[in-house]
Chains A and B, each alone.
Chain A
Amino acid sequence: MKRKRSRILALLLTAVLAMSMLAGCKSNSGKTEGVGTTDVATTNEGTSDNGTTAVPEQTNIQQDIDWERIGWHADPADLEWKEDTSPIKLSYYVNFSWFGLNWDDDTARRVTEKTGVDLELTKPVSDDGQKLNMMIAGNQLPDIMTIDRNDPALQKMIDAGLIWALDDLIDQYAPKMRDVLQKEILQNYRSADGKTYRFTTWVQGEAWQKAAREFDQIVGTNQPVVSVRKDYYEEIGSPEIKTKEDLIAALEKMHANHPDKIAFYPADNAVSAATLERSAAMGNLGVQFGMSNDMADQGGKILWQARSAEFQNTIAFLHELQTKGLLNQDPFIDSKDVNNAKITRGDVISYTWVISDGEKVPEDNPDTQYIVVGPLDTYKQSRTGAGWLATVISKNCTDPARAIRFLEYMCSVEGHQDVSWGIQGEDYSGDVVKGPQWNLVDGKPTMLPAYVVDKNADWSGVAAKNGLGEYWIACNELLWNLPWWDNSNEKMAAYNEVYGPKVEFVPELDFKAPDPASDEGIILQKAHELLQLYVVSMVFSDDWKAEYDKFIAEVDALGMGKVEAFYDTQYQEKLQSMK
């Protein structure tokens, strides 16, 4: 009897197992729907419960802002998104596993209440592009997506006609959106057919540059610099470091006093394979010698950075350090964590990184610190200011009219107010969610200092609570960061004075990369592989110039000229269209 029962039990178990396996293949669509509906329920509950999720008063605060100084303008009164604010669900995919929020916070509720748009936000589990590739292959693209603007998958989707042209949607459903857009968006990112498919975000366009110079914000804490250990530097009498030769001489003296330390250490992967596989500009080290982009204007023509005088100068510098025993192999293989560990241990005498990482305190002598020196006379940074991410509306979109109008709202001043600035008011309540978070000071929106303290103490934690400053779906960097600009910081103002003039903006150097599977794409990738190998063989050989000539010969044999021509065509066209 007992045996029979256990047999039946085993049989049942088997059946259940088999069923669940089959179910695994099918339940996908059903499941998401289920989750989706509960989501709606909770969101609605949240809003009705929490009547205080106040929509910030629209008492035309925008009129009181000093737009002239900022160099922007208030929203036109009747933007199209206001025409229809009935509830609608749009699916939104952000192609970054690290994206922290889920559209279930007060900021999201505020936006949903105002516009009627509720986003069903999804993200991948890992950043290898697999999920996006699957969605493309399975024709399951969501309504709206945000991905890296240089992601090859983006161009693929545009070429395959899976994406709506912004110009078409704007003309049809939201003509006034042109008044709230930065002028670069529809001008600098056109595809071959003359249309723009991507809403590029974080663009440092003309308006941003003008305002940033006005408010001393061109140079941020991510500006590349050279740092040295203060105690060692003072031992040799703190000589001025203005040229490559100054730096080498100072390093030699300091290393003679401390031979067990690494004299020079380009940190943050500046010379590691992770950087060289993408660019010959050598990250924060290259900037010290005037390199910023993989492809550079050399005598009116686009050539690969590895051919430039600046590149050779950098290699010559590293080679000289190597022959003098001031550089070892570590920075070429260490990861970012190891970079950080070696510097905080005090193992290095000097390093290149950025301002925010330029003043670390070495563990072996807490009384001293690293200090920023320079800049070298060769220092120059060319920024394209061409942005970081791109938001697109897929042809699968259930309601493209509402989608484009949603973007119109998100990129307007009002949208930035709701999504990035928060609630306006005089006194911070102490609650990061209730705010208020900002107020007008001398006509400029400014974060309340007490809130800034709380925010800085736990940046991502506060974001997770109130949802502010994270939904950069259609962000205009000028408006986004405006209230955070604080020119009372004397140190940053001083940095701006020194480094600001050495920063130039060259939007025409923002290129579309060749299709990776095309001849140009394959050559480019091979060239970068060669670069990785040759940078170390040049620096660690007896005669760097001989190795360099060998390298260039091999690159030419690969057919790099073809790739350079590919970029040069784009360049000449851009120069024409930007005139």
Chain B
Amino acid sequence: MQKKTTKQRGIRQNFREFARQWRLQVMIIPAIIFFFIFSYIPIFGLLNAFLNYDLTDGFFGNSWAGLKYFRELFHDKDFYLALRNTFGMSLLKFAFTFTMPILLALVLNELPFMKLKKLTQTGSYLPHFLSYVIVVTLWIVFLDSGGPINDLLLRFHIISKPINFLTNSKWFWWIGVMIDCWQESGWNAIIYLAAISGISPELYEAASVDGAGRLRKMFSITLRSITGTIGALFVLNMGNLLSGGPVGSNFNQSYLLGNSFNHETSYVLQTFVVNTGLNQLRFSFAAAANLILSVLSVVLLFGANKASKKTLGSGIM
């Protein structure tokens, strides 16, 4: 009895508070409409994966296909190649592009002069503002068999014959990692730097008094204090893992740098969807392949959240 009344009072209080802030609450309406139109309504498009979708019949005029397209997918051996590459490339990229910004933030924090720190920071996040297409075009020129990198290596006699960076499948994943780290580490470090700036200086002073060195302070204070931020970003980025980690560049890289020579490592699920689905007007097939990708991403997201709650004691949901 007692419990119920407090609960009722709670609801009434909440409502009163809501009524008091109605002017503020109204402001969220555009966002709700936005997400409803652009994120929720399109979810119904997933039905395509189970329909014999034909453009000319309209969305409601199609017959059910059941799991036909999923069966076709699982019988397609390119699908497995694409799946393997997606996981391999994504995990590799995730490992590097997730840790690099943390390291960068720690290093930037230790830089002694304010001006130098500012300059380094600005320089490191500038590439973020370049489009991936431009970045890739630059690297295609750099990595060409007659390009400056090979030229340099040849001049210093490190190699005797130009390395075919762009046509050798073993380089493909690492090129992606390198481009992503170069382009996005600085940008992603900003959030960690913000977290670091919130750490109370007293902690460092106290540690100094206790005789802690620079490295000790870095690990025991700085890194410790931003664990929460790291955890939250880890979970958030996990949902993006299969598109290529925090940067999400798998498709761009595969589409722009993939070729017949490195096909073995460059063919990812997104290229598979574009090649066999969209380019061929096989929308249902494409939708089925993409649905699998989305389901895997959601599983990863919830899994990561759970893991984060267990190990760091906090998640985002």
A398 within 8 A of B: no
User: In the complex, how many angstroms separate the beta carbon of B49 from the nearest chain A beta carbon?
Assistant: 14
- Give which listed residue, A10, A25, A525, contacts B27 with CB less than 8 A: A10
| Bound Cα distance A22, B36 (Å) | 12
| Complex interface bits, A517-551 against B, C-beta within 8 A gives 1, otherwise 0 | 10001100100010011011000000000000000
A162 close to B56 (CB less than 8 A): yes
Q: Which 10 A-B pairs give the minimum distances between C-beta atoms?
A: A160-B56, A516-B280, A333-B259, A329-B167, A536-B260, A532-B260, A17-B30, A517-B282, A14-B27, A18-B30
Compute how far the CA of A375 lies from the CA of B285 in the bound complex, rounded to whole angstroms.
46
Complex contact B259–A517 (CB within 8 A):
no
Complex Cα distance A273/B281, Å? 20
A21 at the interface (CB under 8 A from B): yes
Q: How large is the interface on B (under 10, 10 to 19, 20 to 34, 35 or more residues)?
A: 20 to 34
Q: Mark interface residues in A270-290 (1 if CB within 8 Å of B CB, else 0).
A: 001100100000000000000
Q: Are A137 and B260 in contact (CB under 8 A)?
A: no
Is B164 on the interface with A (CB-CB < 8 A)?
A: yes
B74 within 8 A of A: no
B33 touches A525 (CB 8 A): no
Contact between chains at A7 and B23 (CB < 8 Å): yes
Confirm or deny: A464 has a beta carbon within 8 angstroms of a beta carbon on chain B.
Answer: no
Known: A14-B27, A333-B259, A333-B260. 12 other contacts (CB 8 A): A10-B27, A15-B26, A17-B30, A18-B30, A18-B33, A21-B37, A25-B37, A160-B56, A330-B145, A332-B167, A347-B146, A517-B285
A525 and B280 contact, CB distance less than 8 A: yes
B33 near A22 with CB under 8 A, answer yes
Say yes or no for A152: interface residue by CB 8 A criterion: yes
The answer to whether A14 touches B29 (Cβ under 8 A) is yes
Is the pair A333, B56 in contact by a Cβ cutoff of 8 Å?
Answer: no
Say which residue of A11, A133, A276, A533 sits within 8 Å of B23 (CB atoms).
A11
Interface mask (B277-293 → A, CB under 8 Å = 1, otherwise 0)? 00111100100000000
Q: Is A328 an interface residue (CB 8 A)?
A: yes
Q: Is A159 an interface residue (CB 8 A)?
A: yes
Q: How far is the CA of A160 from the CA of B280 in the complex (A)?
A: 18
Where chain B touches its partner, the secondary structure class is helix
A516 pairs with B281, CB closer than 8 A: yes
User: Would A21 and B167 be within 8 Å (CB), given that A133-B55, A525-B276 are in contact?
Assistant: no
Is B261 engaged at the interface, CB distance under 8 Å to the other chain?
yes
Query: A2-40: contact bitstring with B at CB < 8 Å (1 yes, 0 no)?
Result: 000001001100110110011001000000000000000
CA distance A139 to B60 in the complex (A): 13
Known: A21-B34, A516-B282. A156 touches B55 (CB 8 A): yes
For A11, the chain B residues whose CB sits under 8 A away are 23, 26
On chain A, the residues within 8 Å of B280 by CB distance are: 152, 516-517, 521-522, 525
Q: Which residue of A lies closest to B33 (CB)?
A: A21
Shortest Cβ distance from A272 into B: residue: B259
Q: Are A159 and B56 in contact (CB under 8 A)?
A: yes
What is the distance, in angstroms, from A130's C-beta to the closest C-beta of chain B?
Answer: 10
- A residues in contact with B260, CB < 8 Å: 273, 276, 332-333, 532-533, 535-536
The complex places the Cα of A347 from the Cα of B145 at a distance, in Å, of 12
Residue of B nearest to A515 (CB): B281
Contacts A162-B56, A347-B146 given; does A517 touch B281 at CB 8 Å: yes
**B31 to nearest A CB, angstroms?**
10
Residue of chain A at shortest CB distance from B22: A11
**For the complex, what is the distance from the CA of A535 to the CA of B261, rounded to whole Å?**
10
Separation in Å of the A529 CB from the closest CB of chain B? 7
A residues near B (Cβ < 8 Å) are 7, 10-11, 14-15, 17-18, 21-22, 25, 133, 136-137, 139, 152-153, 156-157, 159-160, 162, 272-273, 276, 328-330, 332-333, 338, 342, 347, 516-517, 521-522, 525, 529, 532-533, 535-536
Q: Known contacts being A14-B29, A18-B29, A136-B55, is A333 close to B276, with CB within 8 Å?
A: no
Question: When chains A and B are docked, how far (Å) is the Cα of A157 from the Cα of B263?
Answer: 35
Task: State the total of A-B contacts with C-beta under 8 angstroms.
Answer: 89
* CB atoms of B145 and A156 under 8 A apart: no
Q: Mark B115-134, 1 if CB is under 8 A from A, else 0.
A: 00000000000000000000
Instruction: Give complex CA distance A7, B25 in Å.
Output: 12
Chain A positions within 8 Å of B263 at CB level: 532-533
Chain A residues, Cβ within 8 Å of B27: 10, 14
* Cα separation A60 to B168 with both chains bound (whole Å): 67
Q: Are B23 and A10 in contact (CB under 8 A)?
A: yes
Tell yes or no: B59 within 8 A of A by CB.
Answer: yes
**Known: A156-B56, A156-B281. Is A14-B259 also a contact (CB below 8 A)?**
no
Query: B229 at the A/B interface (Cβ < 8 Å)?
Result: no
B275 close to chain A: CB less than 8 A = yes
B42 at the interface (CB under 8 A from A): no
Q: Please give, as numbers and ranges, the residues of chain A lying within 8 Å of B164 by CB-CB distance.
A: 329
A208 CB to nearest chain B CB (Å):
32
Closest Cβ–Cβ distance, residue A513 to chain B (whole Å): 11
The chain A residue with its CB closest to the CB of B59 is: A137
Verify if B112 is at the interface (C-beta below 8 Å from A): no
Q: How far is the CA of A20 from the CA of B260 in the complex (A)?
A: 48
Q: 1/0 contact trace for B7-42 toward A, CB 8 Å?
A: 000000000000000010011011001100100000
Q: Which of A157, A329, A516 contacts B261 (CB 8 A)?
A: A329
In this complex, the member of A21, A25, A276 whose beta carbon has the largest number of chain B beta carbons within 10 angstroms is: A21
Find chain A residues with CB under 8 A from B33 CB: 18, 21-22
Q: Which residue of B54, B59, B261, B285 contacts A333 across the interface (Cβ within 8 Å)?
A: B261
Chain B residue nearest in CB terms to A516: B280
B262 (CB) vs chain A CBs: closest residue: A333
Q: Which residue of B lies closest to A161 (CB)?
A: B56
Q: For residue B45, give the distance in angstroms from its CB to the closest CB of chain A.
A: 12
How far, in whole Å, are A167 and B78 apart by their CA atoms in the complex? 45
Instruction: For the complex formed, measure the closest distance between the CB of A530 and the CB atoms of chain B, giving whole angstroms.
Output: 10
Q: Which residues of B contact A273 (CB under 8 A)?
A: 259-260
Complex Cα distance, B55 from A17, in Å, reads 34
Is there a chain A Cβ closer than 8 Å to B166's Cβ?
yes
The B238-279 residues at the A interface (CB cut-off 8 A) are 259-261, 263, 275-276, 279
Find chain A residues with CB under 8 A from B198 CB.
Answer: none
Which of chain B's residues have a CB closer than 8 A to the CB of A276? 260
CA distance A15 to B26 in the complex (A): 8
Contacts of A517 in B (CB 8 A): 280-282, 285
Residues of A within 8 A of B167 (CB): 329, 332-333
Closest-by-CB residue of B relative to A532 is B260
Q: Determine if B213 is an interface residue (Cβ-Cβ < 8 Å).
A: no
Chain B residues whose CB sits within 8 angstroms of the CB of A535 once the complex forms: 260
Q: Does B58 contact A (CB under 8 A)?
A: yes
15 interchain pairs, CB-CB under 8 A? A10-B23, A14-B27, A21-B34, A136-B55, A153-B55, A153-B281, A162-B56, A272-B259, A273-B259, A330-B144, A332-B260, A516-B280, A517-B281, A522-B276, A525-B276
Bound-complex Cα distance A240 to B167 (A): 35
With A137-B55, A273-B259, A333-B167 known as contacts, the answer to whether A21 contacts B30 (CB < 8 A) is yes
Cβ < 8 Å to A, chain B residues 43-65 = 54-59
With A11-B23, A536-B261: A529-B29 Cβ-Cβ less than 8 Å? no
B29, B30, B78, B167 interface centre (most CB from chain A within 10 Å) = B30
